[in-house]
Structure 1
Amino acid sequence: MESLPLTPYDQQHVQVFDALGRSSWTFRMGDAIAHLIADEAGDLWVGYFDEGVYAKDSLSHPGLRRWSSTGEPLWSFSPGPGLIDMSDCTALNVDGETAWACPFMHYPLIEVRGDGTVHVRPTSVSGVRGLAVNGERVVFLTGNSTLEHGRITGTAVEPTQPTTSLVRPDGKVPGPSAVVCRGSRIHLRERGGTDWSVVDLGA
């Protein structure tokens, strides 16, 4: 009998490889993954976009989750008192065992510590695509090339200086880019290119 093709909800789309490059095991994390970053403990933080949050796959519904490297769900975002819905995780940064995220549409800065403690701080930014954190300093990448600077307090993110713009070494403004954020750095690779640029808040 001919087997039926796998549906998207059956696919074991995460593969873990050993030091020799051999596939060790596979598992599912849900649909519509926008960001996937490992923390220093080896756990995996995953941010989902709206097509997963509001679709049929329940693994994606929280919008932000933490998984073990073997596929065990360790933590998921849940809007409670004072917490905004995670309708679309537009930016994700992992530093140590702490994750920082910004969801559409009001773009608060969400801090999730390794023990699962969550802090939500309102911001005045919009259209966030990336973020870097260094102590109480934070910078948000909005659009393709705009940097919004702020200071993290106990209750909010306060703007600290006028916006600045990214430019390439040739003086041109970068175009649409793939964005990966870790700690004080935002890594960007322009669409169709192979070079990476780095914004380092700690430099």
Structure 2
Amino acid sequence: MPAERPETRLVPYARLPRKYRDRHIVHSSVDAFGRGHWLLTEHPPKDLGSDPYDALVVTVEDRVCHETYLHAVLPWCPHIEALPDGGFVLATPRADKDDGQQVQVFDALGRATGTFRVGDGFQHLLADRAGDLWVGYFDEGVYGDDALSAPGLRRWSITGEPLWSYSPVPDAGWIDDCYTLNVTGRTAWMCPYSRFPLIEVDDAQVVRVRQNPVRGASGLAVLGERAVFFSGYGDDRNRLVDCRLTETSVEPVAESRLVRPDGGRLGRPRIVSRGSRIHVQVKPFTEWFVFDLA
């Protein structure tokens, strides 16, 4: 058995106010500006049926709460992401090739404005500060029969226009599964299976590939010449690996185990990586915690 690692405690970040706790949480996210969002319904998601319904988005920023009511939500769109103009995107990770309603867009007033599809089997859907959507796909999407998913990582406009897709570059190869995705500003960082290189992408091209010995990370924080990877397999689950970045490589410096603010174990957390921050949420998903390199 490996030696017990020192602990790194998460910090409380954003909490769903108690007055909303009688509603059902469909999904939650943290956007490019650091705001926490909860998609809520009056009835359990499994009881919503097949008809469009209304939902409430509660946004928390610096302990200030804001409500947005969404109208005519499609019943199969459980994943929420916020847009810089105050609107929202709802999407379902799995979709048939003829499903043009995989992604549903809402304006700042909660009105549905359009739908489009981004490909079957996405693992990550993160909007950047300009409102473009970075979509990373898992293996069933990459190796399925949907050409939109095959590149492993794509960037889309909010109207469904394909803006960029990954293609193999030296020292990186193909993406089998986009394990880790961090979107900050107009830059995306990813760590794909199976070789797990750290790949930096701006809005037009792959900028840099660094060889990376850290395997199986599901979260990533990047700041200057540092990167911290979260999670792993088996006994390495919930570990943090603090690394130094060179021009061509990732060099581990120290390890610890990430725990709740009270020191408790995390279990299987929900992760959102944004710049220097790894946002972490655990059941019952009413609160976001954060690890911040800054």
**What's the TM-score, normalizing by structure 2?**
0.64
1:152 is displaced (CA, Å) by 1.5
1:192 is displaced (CA, Å) by 3.9
Name the residue aligned to 2:83: none
**Judging changes above 3 Å, is the alpha-carbon distance between structure 1 residues 70 and 140 closer, same or farther for their aligned structure 2 residues?**
same
Name the residue aligned to 1:40: 129
* Pairing partner for 2:220 from 123, 131, 137: 131
Name the residue aligned to 2:98: 10
What amino acid sits opposite 2:243 in the alignment?
A: G
What amino acid sits opposite 2:246 in the alignment?
A: T
SS in 2 for 1:169: coil
SS in 1 for 2:141: helix
For residues 66-101 of structure 1, what are the alpha-carbon distances to aligned partners after superposition, in whole Å with 9 as ceiling and x for unaligned? 111111111111013333210000010001100000
Name the residue aligned to 1:151: 244
List runs of 5+ in structure 1 lacking aligned partners: 1-6
1:178 aligns with 2:270: yes
* Pairing partner for 2:113 from 11, 21, 24: 24
1:171 is displaced (CA, Å) by 1.7
> Percent identity, aligned pairs only?
57
**What's the TM-score, normalizing by structure 1?**
0.92
List runs of 5+ in structure 2 lacking aligned partners: 1-94
For residues 120-156 of structure 1, what are the alpha-carbon distances to aligned partners after superposition, in whole Å with 9 as ceiling and x for unaligned? 1111101110101111111000234200011121111
Name the residue aligned to 1:187: 279
Question: Which of structures 1 and 2 has the larger relative contact order (alpha carbons within 8 angstroms, sep 6+)?
Answer: 2
Q: What is the aligned length?
A: 195
Check conservation: 2:228, 2:240, Cα contact below 8 A: yes
Q: Which has the larger radius of gyration?
A: 2
Name the residue aligned to 1:165: 257
Name the residue aligned to 1:196: 288
Q: Please say which of residues 125-134 and 164-173 is displaced more in the overlay.
A: 164-173
- In structure 2, how many angstroms separate the alpha carbons of the residues matched to 1:177 and 1:28? 27
SS in 2 for 1:166: strand
What amino acid sits opposite 2:289 in the alignment?
A: S
1:10 is displaced (CA, Å) by 1.7
- In structure 2, how many angstroms separate the alpha carbons of the residues matched to 1:191 and 1:108? 31
Q: Please say which of residues 44-53 and 112-121 is displaced more in the overlay.
A: 112-121
1:20 is displaced (CA, Å) by 0.3
SS in 1 for 2:148: helix
Name the residue aligned to 1:142: 231
- In structure 2, how many angstroms separate the alpha carbons of the residues matched to 1:74 and 1:96? 16
What amino acid sits opposite 1:59 in the alignment?
A: L
1:197 is displaced (CA, Å) by 1.2
